[in-house]
Structure 1
Amino acid sequence: MTEVKADAATEAKGPGFDRRLLPPMMLGSVLNPVNSTIISVALIPIGRALGAPPAQTAWLVSALYLATSLGQPVVGRLIDIFGPRRLFLLSTTLVGVAGVIGTLAPNLGVLIAARVLLGFGTCGGYPAAMALVRSEAKRTGRDSPGGVLTALAVANQTIAVVGPLLGGVLIAVGGWRATFGLNVPLAVAAVLLGLWRLPRSAGTGESPQRGRLVSQLDLPGMALFAATLTSLLLFLMNLHLANWYLLVIVAAAGAGFAVRELRAAVPFIDLRVLGGNTPLLATYGRALVAYVVSYSFLYGFSQWTEEGYGLSPFHAGLVQIPMFLLAIGVSIVSGRRRGVRGKLLVGSVGQIAACLVMLTLTGGSPLWSLLLVALVFGVPQGLNNLALQNSVYFQSDPERTASSAGLLRTFAYVGSMVASSATAASFGQRADTSGMHQLSWIMLGAGVLYLLLTVFDRTLGRGTTTDSAEEKPST
């Protein structure tokens, strides 16, 4: 937030970013993380209430990210074509509907369906925010939105601070159903802010072609993308040799998707441009492995602190407070600095250090050791999200900012699906210490891969990529 204020110093030089857009941008972008963090402390109470072990309640995590992984690039593409207002309003309305269904859900199946709706409903916020940043940069002539991007990152970190603790409070006061009911007032507020503040026209450069809906949407490409990703995620959610046929479907649908996109006049995902954009592809790869680590910690560590260590949901939420508080501070401070290479390197080392500390924990460890793990995780939590977000903004095609941002979230959610699958496989019927250690080894492997992807990415050091883009005069 501090850096956003710094932008005021240049207001006299020309038009600045429209601050009225910030409230709906930030609220829309945090709808997904608030549901991600709240559910982390609700999984054990839901399992106890509905008689479901961790291996089954893991679907509450996977369902949301399956839907979001599919929906983010699709909604992002729609935003690129039609502007953010309509898609923002539609998606946030769906969040409220999902909140009602989840609050009244009679069983785990309906609850999972509510999480699917939540996943689709939270697809519009982040791509809409990135599209607005791009359109404002075009309007003002200032393509250096460091303060605004930092504000978005800090907003997400702030919600992450509140999420586990708020989830614990809601469960203590109204039971686990209250964690779903929270979406109703949040959705109402988002819709009202969207109606009030979002411009009726704020596309990213394709408005003359908006009338040709079918050709612009590339429906066959979207369908093949959905088939590829769904098959892959279903396999990841239930890793077993008996499901080998899913990999065959992945290969067939993926090949069909590639052929379609290379031939389409207006492809859903322009593989020619994306294939030639090595820096952006590397960013997507880093996002995938980074989120394997962060979401394994968010869900796996939370379940272990409740069931393996014996904390209540409220106290399990309190344990994660140091991580998110430090992440906020790190985001604010690092948001002022140009370049991303240093942030990525420190973030990768922080992930590895935290995983090593997790391997030392047992059910008899002192409470301060749990807080230490959360504190160490705060460094990569604050650095990685901001660095990845800034990378995509500067590395993507300006006319596909929203869909590129949506694709970043898709790769991140594939990582979260891997994390969910790893958590379910590690814990099985109970979130005990041995399962937590097994999960920690998986996290450590992903952390090392993240470090290698950063160290050996030569594009980060070239003047034509993100580092140089961020060296433009700050506004």
Structure 2
Amino acid sequence: MKALGAPLRARDSGAAPDRGFGARLMTPLLLGAVLNPLNSTMIATGLVAVGRDFGTGPSGTAWLLSSLYLTSAVGQPVMGRLADSLGPRHIFLAGLGVVCAGGLLGTFAPAFGWLIAARVLLGLGTSAAYPAAMAMLRAESLRTGRPAPRPVMGRLSLAALGSAALGPTLGGLLTATTGWRGIFAVNVPLALLALAVALPWLPHDRRHPATAGPGPGPGPGPGPDDTGAATGDTGPVQPQQGPVRPQQPSGGPSPAAPPRDALLRTYLRHGLTYLAIYCALYGYAQWLEEARGCTSFQAGLVMLPMSLAAAGCSLLGARTKGLRAPLTTAAALLAAGSGILVTATGGTPLAALLIASALFGIPQGLASTGNQAAVYAQAPPDRVGSAAGLQRTAQYTSAMAATGLLALCFGQRASDAGLHRLAAVTGALSLLLLVLTATDRALRARTRT
């Protein structure tokens, strides 16, 4: 609510930085931006209940995860292109309509296959919001003659970050109170609310509304030192679609100077980090319910430190001047969290389980902001948007790979032995990530002032 209220306060007070980017524009965009990351994580604490009702284990429910990620990975660039050619308002509204359809289909799904179809619809519909929002912000920049203010970009990013972080807890609450179908049903009122404010408030599409690039203005776009730019890539949050001008490193080379392999290493590092994080996010939640005996709501509460740590450390990471230290710390903490899970059993003290949850949340915040800043520093200035999109592709690929690992390690039921196998994999990934980060010379330059 803070993110939604901020533009309203700025507009009401007549603050110059938000002029042209006030509540009438930002409220529907913020509501739309939360839908994809919310759906990507909210299902985590409902998988066991779904599997129980339809007689399938983790190897089957993994399709509910991979279907949304695969659809989103393909759908976001397609929706961005459609927003540029057909108009962002049309695509934004159409996406909300598809979200409603997906939510209704999942709510009344008579068989497991219909649930997968509902997740595909949700992935497609929610993929429209962020690229359409970026196109509308570019159109507003053209109209006002200046780029979108940095606080506006920050609010859009933080809205997506917060919804992704709180998704598992919300999913557990809905499953415990309304059943797992509530995870699908909640999309309907959210999408209708976004439609209710988007129809009267979003500006009508102009001809070629977002193909001319960012509006003129002396100020740079969001840089790696800004909360909005730095947090725009956390899971699962959509990449920025518009061109962004990176800030010059302090005492280092220009953003275009690092070789291409430095950017490739950043993609690899980001992908490995989120492969470990997604394995923990989904595998840990299922183990808590099936092996530990927690209810969906209790599992969500145990996962809450992960959510809070991810959100808090993303803000901390956005204010870090260097890259090597936070990224190395993230890799080390992933290894530590894996060490706890590799020995966890049904009798492990609750305090240790909460610590393990936090140990997987802190790296999520540090790595997301650190790798996003690395992309801005290492990509050519005219290709930062494309580079951020490829970083997001690496994250989605890791999410799909994590579903395969879950099926391989757990089989039909999440057991202690399955968790130990999964934790061994995440531990090995963490150690590899630690070596890659510590030996990457491109991370030595400071990228934030």
Runs of 5+ consecutive residues of structure 2 not aligned to the other structure: 215-255
For residue 55 of structure 1, the aligned residue among 51, 54, 59 is 59
1:188 aligns with 2:192: yes
Q: Deviations over 1:397-440 (max 9, x none)?
A: 77766655444332211100111100111000110011011111
Q: Deviations over 1:233-277 (max 9, x none)?
A: xxxxxxxxxxxxxxxxxxxxxxxxxxxxxxxxxxxxxxxx9x975
Aligned-pair CA distance for 1:354? 1.4
Contact 1:29 1:126 in 2 (8 A): yes
Contact 2:340 2:356 in 1 (8 A): yes
SS at structure 2 position matched to 1:320: helix
Tell me the equivalent position of 1:373.
356
Runs of 5+ consecutive residues of structure 1 not aligned to the other structure: 208-272
Q: Give the residue type in structure 2 aligned to 1:375.
A: A
Q: What is the alpha-carbon distance in structure 2 between the residues aligned to residue 323 and residue 329 of structure 1? A: 10
Tell me the equivalent position of 2:237.
none
Tell me the equivalent position of 1:210.
none
Query: Structure 1 pair 45/383, CA: closer, same or farther in 2 (3 Å)?
Result: same
Tell me the equivalent position of 2:109.
105
Query: Structure 1 pair 102/143, CA: closer, same or farther in 2 (3 Å)?
Result: closer
Contact 2:40 2:69 in 1 (8 A): no
For residue 430 of structure 2, the aligned residue among 425, 447, 451 is 447
Q: Give the residue type in structure 1 aligned to 2:184.
A: F
Tell me the equivalent position of 1:155.
159
**What is the TM-score of this pair, normalised by structure 1?**
0.73
Tell me the equivalent position of 2:45.
41
Tell me the equivalent position of 1:329.
312
Tell me the equivalent position of 2:34.
30
For residue 203 of structure 1, the aligned residue among 203, 210, 228 is 210
Q: Which moved more, 1:26-35 or 1:364-373?
A: 26-35
Q: Deviations over 1:119-150 (max 9, x none)?
A: 111212333445556667776656883x4554
Tell me the equivalent position of 2:100.
96
Q: What is the alpha-carbon distance in structure 1 between the residues aligned to residue 319 and residue 139 of structure 2? A: 22
Q: Deviations over 1:328-378 (max 9, x none)?
A: 222233333445444333222222221122212111101111101112222
Query: Structure 1 pair 130/281, CA: closer, same or farther in 2 (3 Å)?
Result: farther
Supply the RMSD in Å over aligned alpha carbons.
Answer: 3.4
**What is the TM-score of this pair, normalised by structure 2?**
0.77
Q: Give the residue type in structure 1 aligned to 2:337.
A: A
Aligned-pair CA distance for 1:75? 2.2
Tell me the equivalent position of 1:431.
414
SS at structure 2 position matched to 1:120: helix
Identity of aligned residues (%): 42
Contact 1:153 1:385 in 2 (8 A): no
Q: Give the residue type in structure 2 aligned to 1:116.
A: V
Tell me the equivalent position of 1:384.
367
Q: Deviations over 1:434-457 (max 9, x none)?
A: 101111111122223333443343
Query: Structure 1 pair 66/412, CA: closer, same or farther in 2 (3 Å)?
Result: same
For residue 283 of structure 2, the aligned residue among 285, 300, 304 is 300
Q: What is the alpha-carbon distance in structure 2 between the residues aligned to residue 12 and residue 390 of structure 1? A: 28
Q: What is the alpha-carbon distance in structure 2 between the residues aligned to residue 40 and residue 171 of structure 1? A: 11
Listed as ranges, the matches of 1:332-351 within 5 Å are 332-338=315-321, 340-351=323-334
**How many residues are paired up?**
396
Q: What is the alpha-carbon distance in structure 1 between the residues aligned to residue 345 and residue 358 of structure 2? A: 18
Tell me the equivalent position of 1:311.
294
Aligned-pair CA distance for 1:40? 0.7
Query: Structure 1 pair 91/283, CA: closer, same or farther in 2 (3 Å)?
Result: farther
Q: Give the residue type in structure 2 aligned to 1:75.
A: M
Contact 2:21 2:148 in 1 (8 A): no
For residue 266 of structure 2, the aligned residue among 283, 292, 308 is 283
Aligned-pair CA distance for 1:381? 1.9
Contact 2:270 2:371 in 1 (8 A): yes
Q: What is the alpha-carbon distance in structure 1 between the residues aligned to residue 156 and residue 432 of structure 2? A: 27
SS at structure 2 position matched to 1:349: helix
Aligned-pair CA distance for 1:87? 2.5
Tell me the equivalent position of 2:241.
none
